[in-house]
Amino acid sequence: MPRRRRTPFLAWVLGLLLLAGPHAAAQELPPDAAEALRAGQRLAAEALITYPQHFPDQPLWSQAIDAGRAAAAAAPDHPAPHRFLAQAYSHVTWYARAWGSWQRFLELGGTLDATASRQLLEVAFWLGIQAYDAGWSEPARSYLETVVELDPGNLGARDRLARMALNRGAFDEALRHLEWLDETLVADLPALRERADLQARHGPAAADSFLAGRAAENAGDRRTALDRYTEATNASDGFVEAWRGRAAAAAALGRPGDAATAWQRVLQLSPGDATAAANLARARDQLAFGLDAQRAYERGVAAYDAGDVAGARVQFQTAVSQNPDYVDAIAWLGRIAAEGGDLTTAATRYRSAVTLAPARADLAQALAQVEARQAAAAAAAQAAAEASAQAAAQAAAEAARPPEPEPEPAPEPTPPPPAPAPTPEPPASEPEPPAPAPEPTPEPPAPEPEPTPPPPSPEPAATTAAVTPWVVVVDTTVEHRAATAGGTGAFTFLATPHLARDLGAFAGGTLHVRLQVNSKPSADPVRYQLCLAPEDIGVTPACTGPERLEVGATGSSVTEQPLDALSGAAGVDWGDGVAQVMLVLRQPDGTPLHDAALPGQAERSPVDPARYFPMEVRVTAVLVAPGGAFPGWP
């Protein structure tokens, strides 16, 4: 083959392939090994500039590899030939051989520079992925652990190492790798973390059996689910979620005895679990009265709750026909009859129920109420009958009585003779009327004193909203102290019982807020946010924009914001009022100004409490109804 003229690029490639590490310098190669190695280096350099892609069967690479093998045979304990072979194998993607040569190089004391690290990383990652996909866990683990040693941020390797660790039950190792991952790259990360947590709490066997049971249950294979849940509870008797899954699967398969046993264990592990108690009662009813009867009973309750009374009656009758001793179904029939006014049937049903369960006070009380209604109805009927009979007898007596004679008219009296008219006296002369006295000029009325207006109430009653359409939300001085010093840190809640009323008249109004900073350790900026929190915790509080109030040193700041523009206001029913006011301190980037660790944050907080706490402020907020006038700041 004709010789090629060496170029600067070729010299650079040769430089990359030179193997002069510390051990190589300390140990001279035998002459034949050195000559073979120099020949291999030249051939490899030519191959690199000749082929656009590199494969082991290409002549230059084949010759270079043969030269490297000759050098390794001549000096088997020298690292230099093995590094050469590792690099050549890496170039031609002969990764399995490259891995072996890299391991031999390191065993002989070779050290990795940047180039060697990059090539070994490529080899280890490729082999690790191939082994992982083929299910060869141990080789894959070795390869991928090398990857994370060389590149700690390699998330693909950490993902697979975490999964393999979970498969081995090494949950602590898995958690170390999972800490590097996030859901944007690993969609099932929550499931992996759950598995690691379950393994930590209940052991690998119980955790994996439980997860397999849940997967089978989600796929509709309840029989397999029951088997896996049973394995989980056998491996960890205190695994309450596994007992819960076992109970539900047994119930779905129509095994009330197994279900009752499992639900009873759930209640032992989780006292007060209302769902478990209800399901245990259900399973016991199925054991006592039969599966079909109990299911008919459940259908009856569901129909009644849905307003289908006739359908409910049919289902309860079905339950009783399948088991005449089904006391609760009999009681339901009594209730439906009583509600329909059929007291006779109701009493009969309740008497049967009381006979079957004489110790149940609820049944005895229901029977007593029906019998009382019967007695009242009978008494009312008797009273009505007696009144009717009395009225009839009185009418008959009136009809039989003879008519009384009409009385004769009394004689009219004789009028007396008229008295003689008196002799009229002569009329007296009328005196002349006196001259009228002059009327005094009336004095002008004294002006009425103007009433002194009462001082404005800071909390007008709901009925005065139309007269004074504003309400003071809060007007108080607060000292914010560090959470690590016993304070509330970034979050302070204020009770506002005067706002626990209908604030519907203020919907669509405006919230005015003033912040007066009395003292503060530094001039570092702080954002202040006021939130109106309803009693219902399912409703997000309505909050002012945190950027609206920002203070540095002492001083005041004011803002106003439409009520419906507060964040979260869309979900608030102002007719239910407000339970409390929440004050939030934030940093300029929007994160809470909290000096203690918050859920989801790192253990060490970046906030220096001495620069912010204690901070004394007076905060005043006034809510003005639509169309109302803001009364101004006190």
Render pLDDT for 364-373 as a digit per residue (tens, 0 to 9): 999 999 999 9
Distance between CA 476 and CA 440 in Å, rounded? 63
Which amino acid, one-letter code, is at 530? Answer: L
- Assigned fold of 112-202: 1.25.40
Of the listed ranges 183-197, 238-252, 456-470, 598-612, the one predicted with least confidence: 456-470
Boundaries of every domain in the chain: 8-94, 112-202, 291-372, 467-624
Given a contact cutoff of 8 angstroms between Cβ atoms, the answer to whether 480 and 615 are in contact is yes
Supply the pLDDT for residue 393: 82
Per-residue model confidence as pLDDT tens digits over 318-355:
999 999 999 999 999 999 999 999 999 999 999 999 99
Distances from the Cα of 3 to the Cαs of 40, 42, 43, 46, 428, in angstroms? Answer: 15, 11, 11, 10, 176
User: Quick one: which of 43, 35, 51, 36 has its CA closest to 14?
Assistant: 43
8 Å CB contact between 609 and 531: no
Q: In this predicted structure, what is the pLDDT of residue 411?
A: 59
Cα four-point dihedral sign 456, 462, 467, 472: positive
**Residue 215 scores a pLDDT above 90:** yes
Does 385 score more than 80 pLDDT? Answer: yes
φ, ψ for residue 151, nearest 5 deg: -140, 85
Position of tokens 């290409």? Answer: 58
- Nearest residue to 485 (alpha-carbon basis) of 576, 352, 579, 612: 612
Residue 624 CA, chain-centre distance (Å), reads: 33
Q: What are the φ and ψ backbone dihedral angles of 585, each rounded to 5 degrees?
A: -95, 130
**What secondary structure does DSSP assign to 45-74, as a single string?**
HHHHHH-SS--TTSHHHHHHHHHHHHHHHH
Encode 464-493: b = buried (16+ Cβ within 10 Å), e = exposed. Answer: ebeeebbbbbbeeebebbbbeeebebbbbe
Q: Give 415's pLDDT tier (boundaries 50, 70, 90).
A: low
User: Residue 230 CB: number of other CB atoms within 10 A?
Assistant: 20
Report pLDDT for 24: 41
Q: Which token pair is 145?
A: 């652990």
Specify the pLDDT at position 389: 85
- Check if the beta carbon of residue 181 is closer than 8 Å to that of residue 162: yes
Q: Per-residue pLDDT for 461 more than 90?
A: no
pLDDT (mean) for 270-291: 94
Bigger pLDDT: 209 vs 458: 209
For residue 562, list its beta bridge partners: 510
Q: In angstroms, rounded to a whole number, what is the distance separating the alpha carbons of residues 615 and 596? A: 17
pLDDT of residue 451: 46
**Counts of helices then strands in the chain (DSSP H, E):** 21, 9
User: Is the model's pLDDT at 426 over the cut of 70?
Assistant: no
The total of other beta-carbon atoms located within 10 Å of residue 389's CB is: 10
Q: How far apart are the first and last CA of the chain?
A: 101
Q: Are 377 and 368 in contact (CB under 8 A)?
A: no
The maximal CA–CA distance of the chain, rounded, in angstroms, is 187
From CA 629, how far away is CA 624, in angstroms rounded? 7
What's the pLDDT tens digit per position in 527-555? 998 888 876 544 577 889 889 999 888 78
Cα–Cα distance measured from residue 91 to residue 48, given in angstroms and rounded to the nearest whole number: 9
pLDDT band at 489 (very low <50, low <70, confident <90, very high): confident
To which CATH superfamily is domain 291-372 assigned? Tetratricopeptide repeat domain (1.25.40.10)
The larger pLDDT score, comparing residue 443 to residue 588, is at 588
pLDDT band at 277 (very low <50, low <70, confident <90, very high): very high
Instruction: State the pLDDT confidence band at 571, using cuts at 50, 70 and 90.
Output: confident
pLDDT confidence of 605, banded at 50, 70, 90? low
Q: What is the mean pLDDT of the chain?
A: 85
Of the pLDDT bands very low, low, confident and very high (cuts 50, 70, 90), residue 172 is very high
Residue 525: C-alpha distances to residues 545, 550, 587, 589 (Å):
16, 7, 7, 10
The more confidently predicted of residues 243 and 468 is 243
Average pLDDT over residues 501-511: 91
Task: Classify residue 7 by burial, with Cβ atoms within 10 Å: 0-12, 13-18, 19+.
Answer: exposed
The 10s digit of each residue's pLDDT in 52-64 is 899 999 999 999 9
Name the CATH architecture for the domain at 467-624. Answer: Sandwich (2.60)
Q: Which residue has the tokens 């009770």?
A: 495
What integer is the mean pLDDT of 398-415?
67
Q: Burial code of 153-173, b = ≥16 C-beta within 10 A, e = fewer?
A: ebebbbbbbbbbbbeeebbeb
* 392 vs 307: which has the higher pLDDT: 307
Write 77-80 long-range contacts (CB < 8 A, 24+).
Answer: 77/108, 78/23, 78/24, 78/27, 78/29, 78/33, 78/108, 79/19, 79/21, 79/23, 79/24, 79/105, 79/108, 79/109, 79/110, 80/19, 80/20, 80/21, 80/24, 80/29, 80/37
Judge whether residue 413 has pLDDT over 90: no
Q: Which of 67-76, 222-231, 463-472 has the lowest mean pLDDT?
A: 463-472
Report which of 107, 111, 88, 109 is spatially closest to residue 98, judged by C-alpha positions.
88
**Cis geometry, peptide bond prior to residue 614 (ω within 30 degrees of 0):** yes
Helix (H, G, I), strand (E, B) or coil at 530: strand
Q: 598 pLDDT exceeds 50? A: no
The answer to whether 78 touches 108, Cβ cutoff 8 Å, is yes
Q: State pLDDT tens for residues 177-207.
A: 999 999 888 999 999 999 999 999 999 999 9
- Range with the poorest average pLDDT among 28-32, 114-118, 600-604: 600-604
Q: 560 pLDDT band (50/70/90 cuts)?
A: very high
Fold match between domain 112-202 and domain 467-624: no
Quote the radius of gyration of the chain (alpha carbons, Å): 49
Residue entry with tokens 């949950």 = 171
Q: Which residues, other chains included, contact 496 with Cβ-Cβ below 8 Å and sequence gap of 6+? A: 473, 474, 578, 579, 580, 581
- What is the per-residue pLDDT for 439? 52
Q: Between residues 257 and 496, which one has the greater pLDDT?
A: 257
Instruction: Give me the percent of the chain exceeding a pLDDT of 90.
Output: 61
